[in-house]
Structure 1
Amino acid sequence: MRATHLLYLHGFRSSPQSAKARLVAGHVASHHPDVFLWCPQLPPSPREAMALVADGIAAWPQGPGMAVIGSSLGGYYASWVARQARCASVLLNPAVRPERDLARHIGEQTAWHDPEARFFFRPEFIAELQALDVSGQPPAGPELLIAARGDELLDWREMVERYPQARQMVLEGGDHALSDFPAHLEEALRFCNLA
């Protein structure tokens, strides 16, 4: 069975306008026109973000009928979603310990693609992140990890250690944004087994 539904989850301060999200959308539209792609704008609250996603995919086919791609904080979320939906996940420089890494970002933030758009990252969001941690549980579906050694924000070694059962692509150099994602796009989508 091939996946007919694909979910893309953006990272912290990011949006559906990110370069990777737009690349995925363009490729799916031209090569997999029958696949339904959803890339929601996630609210700052992790609890609200996952409630939005859970509601949005409630009617989707579970298991091999869907797949999820997540970048950075979206990768952390993708692991939670894949656990609920028992589907394949592709993790792009995923956040492994966001409750630790985002603690210093409590306060007002600007959106990456629209500096005029502001949001507030609240102290209680740290506990909400912790509540979504599935790192101690075996994966419920196939996982592909794409991690860049040159990631300037997150430690690729933590990613490799967090996903021991994943198929791992550790890239030499690179950056947190995965600027060379176009070179890995087809492989990532092939892993999703799209219809």
Structure 2
Amino acid sequence: MNKKVVYLHGFASSSQSDKAVLTRDFFQQHYPRIEFSAPDLPYDPTAAMQLLQQHIGSRRDVALIGSSLGGFLATCIAEQINCRACLINPAVAPHTVLNQHLGRYYHPVLQQHYDVGTGQIGVLAQLMPQRLQRPENYLLLLQSGDEVLDYRLALDYYQGANINLSEGGDHSYVGYAGQLQTIANFCQLA
């Protein structure tokens, strides 16, 4: 059975985001034997975790790639199943950030409206691992110019992880395509 790589998009994003498409294309071209997927995640964190648990199933030969809120979800799953996870400008304690974004949103790929409310904020707070059991399972790609999330929170929370911090950039992670081979290497796909 081939290894599986799952890309997890961020809040108000989708499987059709620039990073998701770049990642899919890279793996199809350079690692065609790898089973790659980028599911469209529901914005309800309980539903997102259930979808991911069903999507991954009992497999343990999985590597995760998560961007922003997808990085948080990747952390939750990686802590449960002890797998490697590459995180791009990950959300740390997203319940404190999303609290500023309560309201109604529209998902363009799923073509449905969704509400972000205090209930989801509480679920995110409960999901957050208090501390990492195996920080060496993580590769962090951080940019100090992230205008959405404070990269210093990730530096603190992911102590002991493999951290690649570059100056400048932004939340989308400028130059992401140039990091895809590093991500693949960390996922131990060979």
- Shorter chain as normaliser: what TM range? over 0.9
CA positional deviation for 1:91? 0.7
1:35 aligns with 2:31: no
What is aligned with 2:151?
156
**Equivalent residues of 1:86, 1:140 under 8 A apart:** no
Gaps of 5+ in 1: none
Mapped to 2, the partners of 1:135 and 1:91 lie a distance apart of 18
1:71 to 67, 75, 84: 67
CA positional deviation for 1:117? 5.1
**Equivalent residues of 2:135, 2:158 under 8 A apart:** no
1:99 to 95, 104, 118: 95
**Equivalent residues of 1:78, 1:89 under 8 A apart:** yes
1:90 to 86, 91, 109: 86
CA positional deviation for 1:7? 0.9
Q: TM-score, normalised by structure 1?
A: 0.91
CA 1:36/1:141 → structure 2, altered by over 3 Å: closer, same or farther? farther
Structure 1 runs of 4+ off > 6 angstroms? none
After superposing the two structures, state which structure 1 stretch, 134-143 or 147-156, moved more. 134-143
Q: Render the CA deviation track for 1:146-165: whole Å, top value 9, x for unaligned.
A: 11000000011111111001
Question: RMSD of the TM alignment (CA)?
Answer: 1.8
Mapped to 2, the partners of 1:156 and 1:30 lie a distance apart of 31
Gaps of 5+ in 2: none
CA positional deviation for 1:88? 0.4
Identical counterparts, % of pairs: 35
1:180 aligns with 2:175: yes
CA 1:140/1:168 → structure 2, altered by over 3 Å: closer, same or farther? closer
**Equivalent residues of 2:4, 2:36 under 8 A apart:** yes
Mapped to 2, the partners of 1:150 and 1:118 lie a distance apart of 31
1:194 aligns with 2:189: yes
What is aligned with 1:21?
20
Q: Render the CA deviation track for 1:33-70: whole Å, top value 9, x for unaligned.
A: 1111121111111011001100111142x1xx210010
1:57 aligns with 2:56: yes
> What is the DSSP-based 3-state SS (H/G/I as helix, E as strand, rest coil) of the residue aligned with 1:184?
helix
Mapped to 2, the partners of 1:104 and 1:132 lie a distance apart of 19
